[in-house]
Amino acid sequence: MIIVMNPGVQEEEINQVVDKLKKVGLGVHLSVGEQRTIIGAIGDRKLVMSMGLEALPSVEKLVPISQPFKLVSRDFKPDNSVFSIGGSSIGGEEIMVMAGPCAVESEEQVMETAYGVRAAGGQVLRGGAFKPRTSPYSFQGLEEEGLKILARAREKTGLLIVTEVTHPQAVEVANEYADILQVGARNMQNYYLLRELSRLQKPVLLKRGLSATIEEWLMAAEYIMAGGNYQVILCERGIRTFETYTRFTLDLSAIPVVKQLSHLPVIVDPSHSTGNWRFVPAMSRAAVACGADGLIIEVHPHPAEALCDGPQSLTLENFSDLMQDLRKTAAVVDKRLGQVV
């Protein structure tokens, strides 16, 4: 249930409603927009309806949320959520581009990539320190040493850092180094991990599961928001279908669908979805045209030597060419690429 407050409502009037809700044991979440303040009441809808809140002069109306995801819903927050991250933003008129290697392999590899990503106009350096792999014999990542390398790259280039956390025990150490914490597709419904991330006040990039419906994806985001962390970035990264020519099938239709259902920013991973670097530029341009708020792209200075996902990684030269194309595509949809502050 959401309580829509009248325009120009005062802080003490908001607090009055909040206190009433808390006194009867209801969860409370505030959404302050440019025109309206909305109070989300989490709990028994009948209890909210029986409290007589509509009689208060500060309350415009009570609106039930029909969707199973409450805080994620656009009913709860009609305006797009825009997050500020280290001087950059996502969810507004700027498109945030995250780029880097699938896995942190060495300091030399990360530094070369970071300087190339920055020169091309990327804002965020991606790199995996904890690598959950299908095979137990594959490279599993450098863990904390990898995080330290990423942090040194941020210090020298000014790029923000996004890295994946694979289990609850990794959250604390990753939180020390990263600006954005990523939940991979295989962990989308790892509710213990989601609850741990919900306790932070740091952006979480939530990838869609390999076979997850849009509703399941949004419900996973609800876990993070219900715990108090409202900074969730959704990432469409391709779903498993009958097609074998690409690694997965990129569901571009998910972008406008989620934009209608939710206020959260949506980005796209064209690298994992296609599995082939040749298709990444076309899918990146298409994602921007469909309304994506950002992209996360795999880039490696020497893809043929990569320990992880080399075939889907762009070279630094190809990434630079793509960024030039994306500036043109962004302008067509009245957006622009973000810049490193």
Using alpha carbons, select from 293, 218, 208 the residue that is nearest to residue 250. 208
Question: Which CATH number do you get for residue 160?
Answer: 3.20.20.70
**Residue 246 pLDDT more than 80?**
yes
Query: How many structural domains comprise the chain?
Result: 2
Indicate whether 332 belongs to any domain.
yes
Query: Both 56 and 117 in a single domain?
Result: no
User: Within a domain: residue 179?
Assistant: yes
CB-based contact 258:234 (threshold 8 Å): yes
Shared domain check, 219 and 293: yes
Contacts for 54 with CB less than 8 Å, ≥ 6 apart: 61, 62
Please say which residue of 33, 63, 93 terminates a domain: 63
Q: Which of 131-145, 238-252, 290-304, 307-321 has the lowest mean pLDDT?
A: 131-145
The whole domain housing 28 covers: 2-63
Q: How far apart are CA 24 and CA 47, in angstroms?
A: 8
Residue 125 pLDDT > 90: yes
Asked if residue 119 belongs to a domain, the reply is: yes
Q: Look at residue 44 in the predicted model and tell me its pLDDT.
A: 83
Pairing of strands 204-207, 180-183: parallel
- 140, 22: one domain: no
In a domain, 70, yes or no: no
Same domain, 25 and 156: no
Judgement on whether residues 53 and 100 belong to the same structural domain of the protein: no
Is 73 inside any structural domain?
A: no
163-199 tens-digit pLDDT? 999 999 999 999 999 999 999 999 999 999 999 999 9
Closest CA to 262 of 80, 89, 36: 80
Q: How many CB atoms lie within 10 A of CB 201?
A: 8
DSSP states of 161-177: EEEE--SHHHHHHHHHH
Q: Is residue 251 part of a domain?
A: yes
Q: Considering only CA atoms, which of 275, 204, 219 is closest in space to residue 245?
A: 275
pLDDT-based confidence at 60, cuts 50/70/90? very high
Neighbours of 226 (CB within 10 A): 18
My answer on whether 92 and 165 are in the same domain is yes
Between CA 232 and CA 33 the distance in angstroms is: 17
* Domain edge (last residue) among 63, 93, 108: 63
Task: Mark whether 131 and 238 lie in a shared domain.
Answer: yes
| Whether residues 266 and 307 fall in one domain | yes
Query: Is residue 32 domain-shared with residue 152, that is, in the same domain?
Result: no
**153 and 59 in a common domain:** no
Average pLDDT rounded to a whole number, residues 284-293 = 98
3-state secondary structure of 216: helix
Domain boundary among 11, 30, 63: 63
CA–CA distance, 226 with 72 (Å, rounded to integer): 9
The mean pLDDT value for 290-294 works out to 98
Q: Are residues 204 and 295 in the same domain?
A: yes
Q: Are residues 113 and 214 in the same domain?
A: yes
CATH number at 37 reads 3.30.70.1140
pLDDT for the residue 256: 98
Say what angle helices 254-261 and 214-226 make with each other, to 10 degrees.
Answer: 40
Q: Is the pLDDT of residue 257 over 80?
A: yes
Residue 162 domain-assigned (yes or no):
yes
pLDDT of residue 133: 58
Averaged confidence pLDDT in the chain: 93
Q: Is residue 69 part of a domain?
A: no
